[in-house]
């Protein structure tokens, strides 16, 4: 168990060891129990969190904002337009000022080079920097996903089949970040990962290399298939969401949407759930496009854990803030 996490950034799951992430899970357990019993968690009294959003959010913003409030602190909501960032202020100058006023900052920037911008911010920051989602990674979502899977399977993860599948949601190009976080994180905790997508929707080569290395290091499996039925067969977890063919078309939105629409039928429906194991679960980071990515029958059905997953965003984020902004020591 690792307890010396005060001040540590959380920009990518790979930056944290398994021991550090296990500590976060332990603290999440404690915070979730206290939330259920309405017990005090005033652990970050008078602490301020900056939330800088380059784009809108539902679950991420509210998980952080409710979370810091429940921990006794306060959140400041910021946007580039409402700061001097839109006028060209550098990450260095922005964080040099903010780190003298508050105690942590979360950033959501899924545009091109969003992760690079966050790394630059963290380079000069004296307070923890949290990645609320960027073009490459979505770590605050993936840790909530991991926590949810541990809950649903009583922490018996070894050898379970985890499927992250592309879906044909074609109104715009979504980033690669969710899929990339999942394929690299889940093998570290014993899950056998199957990545499914049509040809042309590959993830970044460096990310796939890390996924394979993690699977080998932790005795898990990692495979890529181009058939959704094959992927869902005997699955324990089906996690399906869309992303753009960014490795094929770059930022060409028009061409990317055309490619998405050329691959219809990648949807989670009753037939695909029936291919999975009897007690399988269906997951999605949300918002899920109803009856496009997933049928309402599945989304509202007995296999769906979407709303538990969404609630766990708050509990895992609270643990992240408590460990990195305060002086919390995790105890079994």
3-state secondary structure of 256: helix
What whole-number distance in Å separates Cα of residue 124 and Cα of residue 114?
Answer: 16
pLDDT > 90 in the chain, percent = 95
Provide mean pLDDT across the span 298-321.
98
Sign of CA dihedral 14, 18, 23, 25: positive
Q: Is the pLDDT of residue 204 over 80?
A: yes
Residue 60's pLDDT is what? 97
pLDDT > 70 in the chain, percent = 98
Residue 179's pLDDT is what? 98
Average pLDDT, rounded, for the chain: 96
pLDDT band at 1 (very low <50, low <70, confident <90, very high): confident
pLDDT digits (tens, 9 = 90+) for 88-127: 999 999 999 999 999 999 999 999 999 999 999 999 999 9
The domains found in the chain, sorted by start residue, are 13-138+310-325 (3.40.50.1370), 141-309 (3.40.50.1370)
What whole-number distance in Å separates Cα of residue 113 and Cα of residue 231?
Answer: 31
- Residue pair 35/14 in contact (Cβ under 8 Å)? The answer is no
- Residue pair 2/17 in contact (Cβ under 8 Å)? The answer is yes
pLDDT band at 244 (very low <50, low <70, confident <90, very high): very high
Provide mean pLDDT across the span 37-64.
96
Look at 52 and 2; give whichever has higher pLDDT. 52
pLDDT digits (tens, 9 = 90+) for 159-198: 999 999 999 987 889 999 999 999 999 999 999 999 999 9
Q: Is the pLDDT of residue 9 over 70?
A: yes
Instruction: Extract the runs of DSSP E, i.e. beta strands, from the chain.
Output: 48-53, 74-78, 104-109, 129-134, 161-165, 192-196, 222-225, 237-240, 281-283
Radius of gyration of the chain (CA): 19
Q: Is the pLDDT of residue 332 over 90?
A: no
Residue 327's pLDDT is what? 57
3-state secondary structure of 252: coil
Beta pairing partners, 135: none
């Amino acid at each position: 168990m690792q307890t010396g996490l005060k001040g540590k950034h959380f920009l990518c799951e790979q930056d944290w060891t398994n021991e550090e992430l296990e500590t976060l899970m332990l603290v999440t357990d404690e915070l979730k129990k206290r939330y259920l019993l309405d017990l005090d968690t005033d652990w970050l009294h008078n602490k301020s969190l900056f939330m800088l959003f380059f784009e809108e959010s539902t679950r991420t913003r509210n998980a952080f904002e409710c979370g810091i409030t429940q921990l006794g602190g306060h959140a400041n909501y910021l946007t580039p337009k409402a700061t001097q960032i839109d006028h060209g202020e550098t990450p260095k100058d922005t964080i040099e000022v903010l780190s003298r006023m508050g105690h942590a900052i979360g950033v959501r920037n899924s545009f091109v080079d969003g992760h690079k911008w966050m790394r630059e911010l963290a380079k000069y920051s004296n307070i923890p920097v949290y990645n609320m989602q960027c073009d490459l990674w979505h770590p605050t979502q993936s840790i909530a996903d991991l926590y949810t899977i541990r809950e649903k399977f009583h922490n018996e993860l070894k050898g379970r089949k985890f499927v992250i599948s592309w879906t044909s949601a074609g109104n715009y190009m979504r980033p690669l970040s969710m899929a990339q976080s999942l394929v690299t994180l889940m093998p570290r905790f014993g899950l056998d990962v199957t990545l499914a997508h049509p040809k042309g929707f590959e993830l970044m080569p460096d990310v796939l290399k890390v996924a394979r290395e993690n699977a080998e290091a932790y005795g898990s499996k990692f495979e890529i298939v181009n058939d959704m039925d094959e992927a869902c067969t005997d699955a324990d977890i089906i996690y399906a969401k869309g992303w753009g063919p960014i490795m094929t078309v770059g930022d060409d939105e028009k061409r990317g949407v055309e490619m998405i629409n050329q691959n219809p039928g990648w949807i989670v429906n009753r037939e695909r759930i029936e291919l999975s194991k009897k007690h399988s679960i269906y997951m999605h980071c949300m918002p899920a496009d109803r009856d496009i990515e997933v049928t309402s029958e599945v989304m509202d059905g007995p296999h769906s854990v979407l709303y538990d997953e969404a609630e766990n965003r708050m509990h895992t984020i609270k643990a992240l803030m408590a460990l990195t902004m305060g002086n919390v020591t995790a105890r079994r």
